[in-house]
Structure 1
Amino acid sequence: MVLIVEDDKQAGRLLGDIFAEQGWRVVAARTGPDGIRMAHAEHPDLVLLDLMLPFKSGDEVLAAIRAESQVPVIVVSARETTRTKIDLLHMGADDYVTKPFDVDEVVARAEAALRRAGSAGTVGVVHEAAGLLLDETERRATAGGHELALTSTEFGLLTALIRAPRLVLSKPQLYAEVWGAEAGYDERTVNTHMSNLRRKIREASGDDPIRTVWGIGYTLRPA
């Protein structure tokens, strides 16, 4: 089920039609408080979130959702400054689409977010490396024995790294693996989500096993 939090009737109707045609059940909220309430009550598989909402802003809705859920959230907004995008990614947004949006781009980004969240199924594999334990079936990860509260994007990045612990993965490789090659490479997006992932690992374990290979990408530190 897809939750669309959008106060513009035309944009909300278009987004609803897009996902209904893909076979998804769609529910909609027109205000910030309604978006928070429906995210809590409906347990959606994906949230499409506008920023300019009545009564509570999209930033506040995102913060409220992230306080209790790691559901994929794609921001769909006319704000297109780099600072706004990076700030929202740091807050836990999985992706960002600028209005006016291309229908095919929205669908591609949504499909990539749902793949990262495991809606397309996962491989029953448990990985262990550099003090990290990751279970793809349960979609759980721990660092130093402490469970990590990861968004689907952060989990996807960690999965890519831990599947190939001795390889250096370039940023374009990680983007293609996690977001899907069709989504359009964005280095800032990789950097921001990787920063969030590393912070959570450090907070949980006091350690950071992810190494930056300058000018190339990232790898896990050898055990």
Structure 2
Amino acid sequence: MSQGRILVVDDEPQIQRFLKPALTAAGYEVIEAGTGADALKAVATLAPDLIILDLGLPDMDGKEVIANLRGWSDLPIVILSARDRESEKIAALDLGADDYVEKPFGIGELTARIRNALRHRGKSDAAPTVITIDGLTIDMVRRLVSRQDEPVRLTPKEYDLLTLLARHAGRVVTHKTLLTSVWGPAHGEDLHYLRVFIGQLRQKIEQDPTQPKIVRTEPGVGYRLVTEQA
């Protein structure tokens, strides 16, 4: 039984030759596109469950594909690109990509990101109202946070920051998104401000704040609330 249909958008034949059998072996049906235009057509006509997207396409930048798709589709998008500049990751994520994997990559990491993105899509229509991870429970209906059944007292901003991460559990949330959503557009560049609040939040919710397991740092990009422990 297929785990889902994946559209691989990459103009490098060697990437397509590697990914198709690897993803097929993992239980996915694979369809391919080599340009941004073909990718948009395939999404509209072949109804994939997820898209793996290279940013360096021959006819348009992959970020244009993301922007176009996000106008009419919530299809999970995992970027797979050799571009390693933080600005490229941030731009793709801010446009609506779900995750970012750099080339060269391991198939294990990629399939883990695929599973996570598909889980997120499955939950998007009925987002969980209670999340429990590593002894921490976040109840977004009752606005309660507890660790081992003991209440955790958060400031309003700490609570807003935690629940924003929880609503996007498993996904990277960029610095800019966190800052503008919690503090407003005027604070979009206040990275030090954000780091201070993340530090305060970790002191309250992590078993060991020096080795956080719940709120993970994505260096130079943002933070991710991890819902599964290794």
Question: Do both proteins adopt the same fold according to a TM-score greater than 0.5, normalized to the shorter chain?
Answer: yes
Q: CA deviation at 1:190?
A: 3.0
- Partner amino acid for 1:66? R
Two-structure CA RMSD over aligned residues (Å): 3.3
Q: Which residue in 2 is equivalent to 1:195? A: 178
User: Do the aligned partners of residues 191 and 64 (structure 1) sit closer, same or farther apart at CA in structure 2, a change above 3 Å counting?
Assistant: closer
Deviations 1:186-219 (A, max 9, x none): xxx33448539938xx9xxxxxxxxx8912449x
Q: Is the 8 A contact 1:45 1:71 kept in 2?
A: yes
1:62 equivalent in alignment to 2:66: yes
Q: How does 1:71-110 map to 2 (within 5 A)?
A: 71-110=75-114
Distance in 1 between the 2:84 and 2:44 partners?
28
- Structure 2: 5+ residue runs without aligned partners? 132-137, 146-153, 185-193, 203-230
Alignment: residue pair count: 164
1:42 Cα deviation from its structure 2 partner:
1.4
Q: What amino acid does structure 1 have at the position aligned with 2:169?
A: V
Query: What residue identity is the alignment partner of 1:111?
Result: R
- In structure 1, list runs of 5 or more residues that go unmatched: 123-135, 141-154, 181-188, 203-211, 219-223
Once residues 141 and 47 of structure 2 are traced to their aligned partners in structure 1, the CA distance between those partners, rounded to angstroms, is: 30
What are the residue-to-residue correspondences of 1:141-180 with 2, within 5 Å? 160=131, 162=140, 165-167=143-145, 178-179=169-170
Bigger RCO of structures 1 and 2 (CA < 8 A, at least 6 apart): 1
Residue 11 (str. 1) matches residue 15 (str. 2): yes
User: In the TM superposition, what whole-angstrom CA distance separates every residue of 1:113-161 from its partner, at most 9, and x where no partner exists?
Assistant: 111111xxx5xxxxxxxxxxxxx7xx15xxxxxxxxxxxxxx67x8756
Question: Aligned match of 1:41 in 40, 45, 63?
Answer: 45
Query: What is the TM-score normalised by the length of structure 2?
Result: 0.61
Q: TM-score, normalised by structure 1?
A: 0.63
Change (3 A) 1:163 1:9: farther
Rounded Cα–Cα distance in structure 2 between residues aligned with 1:28 and 1:9: 10
| Contact 1:6–1:12 (8 Å) recurs in 2 | yes
Larger radius of gyration: 2
Correspondence for 2:206: none
The alpha-carbon deviation at position 12 of structure 1 amounts to: 1.5
Indicate if the aligned counterparts of 1:90 and 1:192 stay in contact, CA closer than 8 A. no
Q: CA offset at residue 108 of structure 1?
A: 0.7
- 1:25 equivalent in alignment to 2:8: no
Q: CA deviation at 1:25?
A: 1.1
